[in-house]
Structure 1
Amino acid sequence: MLETIDFAGDENIGVYTRVFEDFAVVPLNATEEYVSAVEKKFGIEVIKTTIQGSSIIGSLLVGNSNGLITSGLATPEESAVLKNCSNVMFLSRTMNAAGNIILANDEIALVHPNLPDRYAEKISEFLDVPVVMMTIGGIPTVGMAAVATNTGILVSPGITAQEIKEIEDITSLPIGTGTVNMGSSLVGTGLIANSKSYLAGISTSGYELGRIEEVFGFE
């Protein structure tokens, strides 16, 4: 079974793709081969779009079973595509790369510590989960420093004991450290996953794949 893949030669597949439980979102320029690989691996529908005219879907989109959060700069046409999939919340301020600044599953959301409190409260209400404003290993772009599914959370190996405790205070899901693409600690850039399966960047080693499978319970 395919475990690693690239996007147009780029190992950072998490920057371009966002996978949820029932569907995935990829850029308009995704090849049919790439779309087919995602469809077969996860067994879900794949939606093609841009967000604010860009292909970096993974950086601009996040969510859980209750809804999607994306950039307020999404066009009406792009917004309509997303609204056809789920409820959508738009970030209308300059810090609008939702996939970079928010990490979410059905139990918890972590958000960039510099996001205003009122936005954190809106995110909590919209996704219907507790929200923690924090860093992961000192990295404020928590959406790229970790990958969260409903079966586990893979985090950057630089995470501190205090940061782990902050997450453990909210969820009982297993939390484990790991890397992708031969040592990248920004695991969200090179990994897409849900509770059913995963795909990692093409350079991800066998050891790194084993760690991913351990944390998410795919062994």
Structure 2
Amino acid sequence: MIRTINIQDSPIIGAFATCTEDLALVPLGTSDKICRDLGEWLQVNVVKTLINGSTIVGSLCRGNSNALLVSMDSIVRGQEDLDIPVVEVPGKMNAMGNIILANDSAALVHPDLSDRSIEVVEKALKVDVMRGTIGGAKTVGMAGVATNKGLLVNPRATASELEALESLFDLPVDIGTTNYGTQMVGSGLLANSKGYVAGSQTTGHELGRIEDALDLIL
């Protein structure tokens, strides 16, 4: 089965949706069929929401099994339907999904994130946190995808960046693309340890690389 979709009529699904081991957040207006597919493929509970009235839920939120992170004073529609806390991260940066790469044990964050913000991320997600880049990109949340089984990151990642990721997450790290060569791999992929779904323009070769990197031979 080819696990590719559009969300909001776009293959850049990582900008519009995000997922953890148990939960996927999608924008209000996402079709029931897409929600069913996501629920089946990722084995998660799917919740429709808006963050600050916006559909770019994946860019504005990042979480793991312990919490969801948003910027200060964010309004998360349907927050009462979530069974984990929504935690506000202090500071001027507002796109948590773009600037944080996380699983249940570690997080890599934008190099300019403040010490205070990092303390909040550490406490909320209950993970080790390190500042860094992937392929020189500071928007590490879109430059990679991390699950509890592996990482897939921007093919421009340097040897030292890959080494730092492997050390931080204590997992294998591989490089790849989505949506026919898009290097910001996180913009076109939702994944956890149970499954994945990629943007509609992702090729068979790219899907194979995703499955290998994230140990998801389905």
| Separation in 2, partners of 1:173, 1:182 | 26
Q: What SS does the corresponding residue of 2:30 show, helix, strand or coil? A: coil
| Separation in 2, partners of 1:53, 1:8 | 15
Q: CA deviation at 1:104?
A: 0.5
1:120 aligns with one of 112, 118, 124? 118
Q: CA deviation at 1:93?
A: 2.6
Compute the TM-score of the two structures, normalised by the length of structure 1.
Answer: 0.94
- The equivalent residue for 1:31 is 31
- Corresponding letter in the other structure for 1:136: I
- The equivalent residue for 2:55 is 55
Q: CA deviation at 1:29?
A: 1.5
Q: CA deviation at 1:78?
A: 2.5
- The equivalent residue for 1:45 is 45
Cα offsets for 1:149-197 (capped at 9, x unmatched): 1011100000011111212222321100000000000011100001000
Unmatched 5+ stretches in structure 2:
none
Answer yes or no: is the 8 Å Cα contact 1:49–1:81 preserved in 2.
no
- The equivalent residue for 1:86 is 84
Answer yes or no: is the 8 Å Cα contact 2:42–2:195 preserved in 1.
yes
Answer yes or no: is the 8 Å Cα contact 1:51–1:71 preserved in 2.
no
Alignment RMSD, CA only? 1.4
Answer yes or no: is the 8 Å Cα contact 1:111–1:131 preserved in 2.
yes
| Separation in 2, partners of 1:11, 1:120 | 31
- Corresponding letter in the other structure for 1:150: N
Percent identity between the aligned chains? 45
- The equivalent residue for 1:191 is 189
Matched, 1:171 2:152: no
Describe how 1:94-109 pairs up with structure 2 within 5 A.
94-109=92-107
- The equivalent residue for 2:13 is 13
| Separation in 2, partners of 1:31, 1:74 | 24
Q: CA deviation at 1:91?
A: 2.3
Matched, 1:64 2:64: yes
Unmatched 5+ stretches in structure 1:
none
| Separation in 1, partners of 2:2, 2:204 | 13
